[in-house]
Amino acid sequence: MRIQLGKRLLDRQIVDRDGRLIGRVDDIGFAVDADGFPYVDCLLTGQGALGQRIGGRVGRLLVAVADRFVDDPPVPPVRIPLALVDRLDSVVRLRVGAAELPPSPVESWLRRHLIDRIPGANRASG
């Protein structure tokens, strides 16, 4: 059976179990099993993954901008294991909450260096 993963997955929104937006599927991570057959291992999201997928000048610019907002470049994509995907319809729905996912390196940097320095930011309702 042939499945066109690009059309089914790429650029779809990813939402957690509570319907909160996590991001978009920017790329797909593959692995190879013991018999040498490739399989989808995870969904990749983040500026680094998108920049590498797009390629060219625009892709390099996306990666360069993302690298400016992390302490240890290059910025790795956020990897969402396929086992965390509940279902795929108009969006990719996860079976876990956002807090159970690895944080985006860029968002973590922005929170530490910008958001947390705003007076009262730690008291904002979420």
Q: What is the CATH number of the domain that holds 79?
A: 2.30.30.240
Domain boundaries, position 26: 5-120
Can the peptide bond before residue 74 be classed as cis, meaning omega within 30 degrees of 0?
Answer: yes
What percent of the chain clears pLDDT 90, i.e. is strictly above it? 44
Residue 122 has pLDDT above 90, yes or no: no
* Each residue's pLDDT tens digit, 53-64: 889 999 999 889
Q: Which pLDDT belongs to residue 110?
A: 77
Residue 125: inside a domain? no
pTM check: above 0.95? no
Confidence class of residue 1 from pLDDT cuts 50, 70 and 90? Answer: very low
Non-local (6+) Cβ contacts of 1 within 8 A are: none
Confidence class of residue 108 from pLDDT cuts 50, 70 and 90? Answer: confident
If one compares 102 and 38, the residue with the highest pLDDT of the two is: 38
Number of domains in the chain: 1
